[in-house]
Structure 1
Amino acid sequence: MKFQKLFSDENGKSHWEDIDVAMEVRSFASPAQNIEISEPELVKQAMFLRLRSGWNEPIHPTPVAQKLICLAGTVRVTASDGESRDIGPGDVWHMEDRHGKGHHTMVTSKEDFESMIIQYE
């Protein structure tokens, strides 16, 4: 499994990075068979988010470290270094660009963009 990480460098410029999720086989729900699972991450809260079709926000940094899991629709997210990624159903986007210019987000699908946000702070 992979997720897409957006982070800020020491100069405040945001960049994309692909992250491979480390998995190991272990017992998770005994007596069920062992499964592949990652290490747990402590989180603060989770919420659902909807951006209406046509949403086009100004460039900004993320307010907190968070993961977004896309459920429906598509957005194009552009880092301040100019690289764009399309986030669609099933994609996981980890945001850590908390300082500097941040990123630009625009809904590119005809339908609304729906997601779940998991916040770490």
Structure 2
Amino acid sequence: MKYQRTYTGEDGHTHFEEVDVPYTVERGQGRETDLLPAASIHFRVTPGTMNYSFHTAPRRRLIVMLSGALEVETGLGEKRQFRAGDVLEVGDTHGHGHISRALGGEDFRSAFINLDDELVSDRRTGLESCEAGMEVIRCRTGADGQSHFSDDRLPFVHESPSGWTTAELPLKGFQFVLKPPTFDRDFHNAP
């Protein structure tokens, strides 16, 4: 699994590098990486007008783009664009930082996998009451032993210069899974 990472170089500027996490297991018509450690996950909706000047990442985390598009620019003028399905690890928690901007004028949704508990800077403010939230679909096992889908909403609890976020949900880890477009699996329980 290849993705981009930001880091702060010895020059104090943010740089990009490619990360390649190897798939180590062949299972069920696909491949999986090892389980990777993580502390928590939360979700964010970012307005399509966002153009956030130089800032550092508040903590080491992966940003998984769910919809829309994001452009990240370093102080040296290097730019990368990320769209639905792309992953960016932000690790430039000090130094000059980077610019983040929404592309195409549309709001975008993303999942944030926090890789540790070290919050270097917190630009969020709490929302006292918010009717809005991130729409999700849950799959649960019912009393009948069958899987049932339901529409749900994770409420937004914070606001920041880059959008609205849900509460952090604890994680022990995550992994990348690659399945072919022909993937078709019979009924099964979640692992």
TM-score of the two chains, using structure 1 as the length reference = 0.88
Map 1:41-56 to 2 at 5 A.
Answer: 41-56=36-51
Question: Which runs of structure 1 show a deviation greater than 3 angstroms over 4 or more consecutive aligned residues?
Answer: none
Pairwise CA distance, 1:22: 0.8
Map 1:18-29 to 2 at 5 A.
Answer: 18-26=18-26
Point out where structure 1 has 5 or more consecutive residues left out of the alignment.
28-32
CA RMSD of aligned residues (A): 1.5
Normalized per residue, the structure richer in strand is 2
1:10 aligns with 2:10: yes
Point out where structure 2 has 5 or more consecutive residues left out of the alignment.
117-191
Q: Deviations over 1:26-81 (max 9, x none)?
A: 56xxxxx4852112221111000111011111111101000000011111100222
- Alpha-carbon distance in structure 1 between the residues aligned to 2:23 and 2:76: 31
2:110 matched residue in structure 1: 115
Give the number of aligned pairs: 116
Residue type of the partner of 2:95?
G
1:95 aligns with 2:85: no
Pairwise CA distance, 1:107: 0.5
1:104 aligns with 2:107: no
Is residue 80–residue 103 contact of structure 1 (8 Å, CA) maintained in 2?
yes
Alpha-carbon spacing, 1:87–1:34, altered in 2? closer, same or farther (3 Å) = closer
Identity among equivalent pairs (%): 28
Could you say which structure has the greater relative contact order, defined with CA pairs below 8 angstroms and 6 or more residues apart? 1
Aligned partner of residue 52 in structure 2, secondary structure: coil
1:70 matched residue in structure 2: 65
TM-score of the two chains, using structure 2 as the length reference = 0.57
